[in-house]
Amino acid sequence: GAGVSQSPSNKVTEKGKDVELRCDPISGHTALYWYRQSLGQGLEFLIYFQGNSAPDKSGLPSDRFSAERTGGSVSTLTIQRTQQEDSAVYLCASSLVPAGSYNEQFFGPGTRLTVL
């Protein structure tokens, strides 16, 4: 009965470094979502995967952000050349995706990213 897991729980990095954040969704959930939670912006939707594909990447804040999902399971969110404004908690969620259904998402505990 594992829920959504994320790693690392905390990440401190220096400005300009690349970071990778990992999300392991609930087994059997085909949809996976990334959000960013920051003091100034609240909770922002970043990107969504259905299986391994991401139909809409327009929510990513800049071209330094990318995400991939392999095998319909684990996803990684990569931030290149990190900036201080990237400091935030990155939340991952997953859901079942039956057509025409509502969108109940189950959230992981998040990764707190601090860029020095």
Partner 1 sequence: AQSVTQLGSHVSVSEGALVLLRCNYSSSVPPYLFWYVQYPNQGLQLLLKYTTGATLVKGINGFEAEFKKSETSFHLTKPSAHMSDAAEYFCAVSIGYSGGGADGLTFGKGTHLIIQP
- Does residue 28 touch partner 1 according to CB under 8 A? no
Q: Write down the least CB distance from residue 16 to partner 1, Å.
A: 28
d(CA 22, CA 111): 9
Q: Which two tokens stand for residue 24?
A: 């392991």
As measured in angstroms, the least distance from the Cβ of 110 to partner 1 is 6
62-91 footprint of partner 1 as x/- string (CB under 8 A): -----------------------------x
Residues in the chain, total: 116
* Residue 85 backbone dihedrals phi, psi, to 5 degrees: -70, -5
Pick one of 33, 75, 77, 115: the residue that binds partner 1 (CB under 8 A): 33
- In this structure, what token pair is assigned to residue 26? 């609930």
